[in-house]
Chains A and B, each alone.
Chain A
């Protein structure tokens, strides 16, 4: 008989300070990663401070660790923020559905991320890099409010090295520094300037609700993406991750079980309750 609420303990391998309030934590269980798929999430916690839900941000094909990124804001994240490499973190998961990596094969891919919404995008993006030959052209567009709010700055250059890949980084107007060499402008605006076509392409979008709203609009109306080919992930408040506690249901789906990955077509049929 199994207690589904019982966490495993994962050891912290490395902590990367991404911005002044966000960190990426690399974990290992028995010295390695766990089996998960891009898009899935887990329940992480410092025991004693309560659980919090985060999507995985690493590629599941990188077997030496798994990672997630968080912003310190509440009790659980403050607790996690106080940990050091070598400490144990409790972990349950993986939960939820995942990106259709098989259906993406042979297609051109567009990845659009905003702020900390880049975390789940990074997981699928790096997965595709790890299986680079399976996919067509890859375009990455990532934006944050200011230069200092950009996550994953240490891996941008790695991304650019892959063949047939374009990486565009942008910050909101006013958020640039004098030595900033990337773009300046809101993500949907920059998105429209990119030479993208909806045919044979799949877009993965994640970020703040307002960004998603306009990015979806640009992709559908300006670039001719089909709603089935735009994929995003939803974030609702969750507690159990197991489809029981009743917190995350929207319309007739449990985000933790039937999601968090949805196509724009599926989102359309959900009521405005998230």
Chain B
């Protein structure tokens, strides 16, 4: 689609979001809770915290819920009755809008989309993705943990967003980059004033600190390098980095219930757990935490990129900020880029 550009006053943006809510959209925005900020459903515009750099968790759960029912079953005798779980997802007719997220979070959508559709089509994901409209706000001031610029994005990138807002004083510039975005604002066009691309302030020249290709180059050749074992002695093997990550998508499939009735579900899972690859025989290909953290790096910066020509990382830095033992992935990736 040809991009369209608009200008909207801060007060009109508020009106716009409030109208979305009253028109039955589920609006998800950064929201203060227990002294931190998380994505959550808002009932009015003022509940959204648009000043925070990034909420503590990503909004991945709106694409890949923590637990998803794949199907429900009931058994009588030798007969098994299976009720497709997809029905419940398509039943969620109410459309969701993610409002006030950052470009890095938005970029995670298309990155995950590749995994869920590269071969078999995962309709659970697709159905949710289809019904999600993403309005992001460009960052002015990334912090030290951010590295989206190195990850082929930027604090002002519109990749993955449907509408990208840029704030200036008391107004916002809106770049509508998808049909979905245009469709969303069309009923409210009176609040927007169409402008040309030239009228939007140009992106800043964001400087890279390191070259991610070099990190990949290191990972290509140094599977057995001591770095992994030494550096990740301080990793305690919790799943925080993977669970707060907007792009980590690994899951587990489990049956829950009894032999009469129950459901098959998929749950979030993490490559940082020893049990992730543990075979029933007791053999585990990834014995140490170093092996497991290496796998996370490999998956993000090598395996995924070799398949899909992009990286499985948007540089949001959540894993670093949330790590209880202060393992900073930006530092790690930079180290690796320097080692080659």
Q: A residues engaging B (CB < 8 A)?
A: 1-7, 9, 45-51, 73-74, 77, 86-88, 90, 209, 235-237, 239-240, 242-247, 249-252, 257, 271-274
Contacts and interface: CB of A to CB of B under 8 A. Distances in A.
Q: Interface SS of chain A: helix, strand, loop or mixed?
A: loop
Interface stretch (B10-18, B69-77, B143-151, B154-162): B69-77
A47 B271 contact: no
B261 to A, nearest CB: 8
Contact of B303 (A49, A74, A77, A251): A251
A271 B223 contact: yes
Interface in B66-109: 70-71, 73, 75, 78-80, 82, 84-86, 90
Contact of B255 (A3, A47, A247): A47
> 4 tightest A-B contacts by CB?
A246-B250, A271-B223, A252-B306, A5-B70
Given A45-B255, A49-B259, A273-B286, 12 more contacts: A3-B85, A3-B86, A4-B121, A47-B82, A48-B258, A51-B253, A237-B278, A239-B253, A242-B119, A245-B266, A246-B249, A273-B223
B295 interface: yes
A88 B252 contact: no
Contacts of B291: 273
Contacts of B119: 242-243, 257
Contacts of A88: 78-80
A47 B300 CA distance: 34
Interface string B274-287: 00111111010110
7 contacts: A6-B71, A7-B82, A9-B82, A237-B278, A239-B252, A244-B116, A244-B251
A193 B119 CA distance: 44
Which of A46, A244, A246, A272 has the most chain B CB atoms inside 10 A of its CB?
Answer: A246
Nearest to B275: A237
Contact of A47 (B80, B90, B266, B306): B80
- Taking residues whose C-beta sits less than 8 angstroms from the other chain, chain B's interface range is 35 or more
B60 interface: no
B251 to A, nearest CB: 5
Contacts of B252: 239, 245
A149 to B, nearest CB: 15
Contact of B120 (A4, A45, A77, A274): A4
Nearest to B82: A6
A97 to B, nearest CB: 12
A50 B70 CA distance: 12
B70 A3 contact: yes
Interface in B278-316: 278-281, 283, 285-286, 291, 295, 299, 302-303, 306-307
B303 A252 contact: yes
Contact of B80 (A90, A239, A246): A90
A273 to B, nearest CB: 5
Interface in B208-262: 223-224, 249-255, 257-260, 262
A244 B71 contact: no
A1 B86 contact: yes
B269 interface: yes
B3 interface: no
A244 B80 contact: no
Contacts of B269: 245-247
